Chain A
């Protein structure tokens, strides 16, 4: 669906952020992008919706080079939710915030209203539709920003660090919602440092370092690679660490287990049950 072909990009022509990045994203994919700060993750994601344009290489959406479209036109297909919701919120009611995005993209008043209500309901924000976003808590503001992007029902949704400041329950809700979007055929891309969240919810992981993609594949194998973890400033996921410790004592336990159900089953077997 969307393709990056050997994309190179430097900020102000000086600071090289992407050095030859190529990747393909299809419908219904759930992808996590990891890497240390400055690796190019956010730069990459901004190329998807045209906020940044490649110095070299191409970004192709459905077979057409995105350079033919403006950011506003691409916003219909590709939504980007930034890290800080306060960078978007400026109107005096949650409802108006969501309607703003819809009207910008040219939806009629009736269509906008219908989509707005649907989205607010989906995110549990109906009760807050008249409230000013500035009076809401941090987590609620994040959901409002998310709602304003989701209302336009883009085919590809990118989120930049959506789990920062969220507690365990909020992360579960977010994961559930992203899963539902995915089932409806949308591609979901998340830029994050939260490896536990990635392991539990994203089958494919792209690891970046120094402007290049150093790994792109099933999350299980990408995040079991110590070299990748080191270069992305990540630490070993808790269950992988547990699996490793168990492996030292019980060699029959494979080192690569990353889901708690699997680990539970294995330990039960070791203890002579099940």
Chain B
């Protein structure tokens, strides 16, 4: 469904249809209970968006440059939102499980979910290392570019070493619990494709076909092609 929404966003370049798409996306995010996270990332993006609008307006060769920029920005937002729906709604464990069920080797799927599991840990470790080195007089935010690059060494080396030690420790624990014993692992929770899921897939596909048809073979009514005066 995410993919369909993304493709649909790409098909249009006028403001009204894009606004319509946008209005369809927001309730979906609301249904996924991820409105707050999404709005935070949008806030982060806003600087980039304003940048795009300004530069596009000034450098565009289109008849109504500002209108065009707004449309472009809306399309970008719609695109990113549709992809983020995927990541906001799918739990990393479910993602890893679905990969396994799609016959990806379980070691790879595990490597992926474990990477996500340990990201916060690694982050904390990096901060702890920075603190430890700062307490020894390493100045991380001073000096010219060359000095700053050299100052990465006292941070990166311990981080790598600590990560390797941690990895060995984790490996010991996993082996002790039989990881890799047999290629035929069982799984306690298995993802099933239910009727609901089939319905979403079919509807998404139909919508895609419809929209592509409309775009290619029909001309949009004038009100849909409205542009801002500038």
Residues of A at under 8 Å CB distance from B?
Answer: 46, 49, 51, 70-72, 75-76, 79-80, 82, 84, 86-90, 100-101, 104-105, 134, 148-149, 152
Q: How far is the CA of A62 from the CA of B59 in the complex (A)?
A: 60
- Find out whether the CB atom of B136 lies under 8 angstroms from the CB atom of A90: no
B133 CB within 8 Å of chain A? yes
- Find out whether the CB atom of A82 lies under 8 angstroms from the CB atom of B161: no
A254 smallest CB distance to B (angstroms)? 42
- Find out whether the CB atom of A89 lies under 8 angstroms from the CB atom of B136: no
Q: How far is the CA of A87 from the CA of B154 in the complex (A)?
A: 9
* Known pairs A86-B158, A87-B128, A90-B161; A75 contacts B135 (CB<8 A): yes
Residues of B at under 8 Å CB distance from A?
Answer: 125, 128-129, 131-139, 153-154, 157-158, 161-162, 165
Contact of A87 among B129, B137, B139 (CB under 8 A): B129
| Chain B residue with the shortest CB-CB distance to A134 | B161
List of A residues within 8 angstroms of B138 by Cβ: 72, 104
Q: Can you list 25 A-B contacts (CB < 8 A)?
A: A46-B131, A51-B131, A71-B134, A75-B135, A75-B136, A76-B137, A82-B131, A82-B132, A84-B128, A86-B161, A87-B131, A87-B133, A87-B162, A88-B129, A88-B132, A89-B158, A90-B153, A100-B136, A101-B136, A101-B137, A104-B137, A104-B139, A105-B137, A134-B161, A148-B136
| Chain B residue with the shortest CB-CB distance to A145 | B132
List of A residues within 8 angstroms of B158 by Cβ: 86-90
A26 smallest CB distance to B (angstroms)? 22
- Find out whether the CB atom of B137 lies under 8 angstroms from the CB atom of A72: yes
- Find out whether the CB atom of A72 lies under 8 angstroms from the CB atom of B157: no
Contact of B137 among A46, A75, A82, A84 (CB under 8 A): A75
List of A residues within 8 angstroms of B153 by Cβ: 90
* Known pairs A86-B161, A134-B161; A79 contacts B135 (CB<8 A): yes
List of A residues within 8 angstroms of B132 by Cβ: 82, 84, 87-88
Contact of B135 among A49, A84, A86 (CB under 8 A): A49
Q: How far is the CA of A80 from the CA of B138 in the complex (A)?
A: 13
A158 smallest CB distance to B (angstroms)? 9
Q: How far is the CA of A152 from the CA of B125 in the complex (A)?
A: 25
Q: How far is the CA of A46 from the CA of B134 in the complex (A)?
A: 11
Q: How far is the CA of A152 from the CA of B137 in the complex (A)?
A: 10
Q: How far is the CA of A70 from the CA of B136 in the complex (A)?
A: 12
Q: How far is the CA of A257 from the CA of B23 in the complex (A)?
A: 73
List of A residues within 8 angstroms of B165 by Cβ: 86
- Find out whether the CB atom of A82 lies under 8 angstroms from the CB atom of B154: no
| Chain A residue with the shortest CB-CB distance to B157 | A90
Q: How far is the CA of A87 from the CA of B155 in the complex (A)?
A: 8
* Known pairs A46-B131, A82-B128, A82-B131; A88 contacts B136 (CB<8 A): yes
Additional 10 contacts, C-beta under 8 A, given A46-B131, A82-B128: A51-B134, A72-B134, A79-B135, A82-B135, A87-B125, A87-B158, A88-B132, A90-B158, A100-B136, A152-B137
- Find out whether the CB atom of B137 lies under 8 angstroms from the CB atom of A90: no
Q: How far is the CA of A100 from the CA of B153 in the complex (A)?
A: 12
Q: How far is the CA of A109 from the CA of B139 in the complex (A)?
A: 19
| Chain B residue with the shortest CB-CB distance to A74 | B135
List of A residues within 8 angstroms of B162 by Cβ: 84, 86-87
List of A residues within 8 angstroms of B125 by Cβ: 87
- Find out whether the CB atom of B136 lies under 8 angstroms from the CB atom of A104: yes
A73 smallest CB distance to B (angstroms)? 9
List of A residues within 8 angstroms of B161 by Cβ: 86, 89-90, 134
Q: How far is the CA of A80 from the CA of B131 in the complex (A)?
A: 10
| Chain B residue with the shortest CB-CB distance to A51 | B131
Q: 6 shortest A-B CB distances, which residue pairs?
A: A104-B137, A90-B157, A87-B132, A80-B135, A72-B137, A82-B132
B126 smallest CB distance to A (angstroms)? 10
A45 smallest CB distance to B (angstroms)? 10
List of A residues within 8 angstroms of B131 by Cβ: 46, 51, 82, 87
| Chain A residue with the shortest CB-CB distance to B138 | A104
| Chain B residue with the shortest CB-CB distance to A158 | B135
Q: How far is the CA of A101 from the CA of B139 in the complex (A)?
A: 12
B132 smallest CB distance to A (angstroms)? 4
Q: How far is the CA of A232 from the CA of B162 in the complex (A)?
A: 30
A160 smallest CB distance to B (angstroms)? 10
Q: How far is the CA of A249 from the CA of B125 in the complex (A)?
A: 51
Q: How far is the CA of A86 from the CA of B157 in the complex (A)?
A: 10
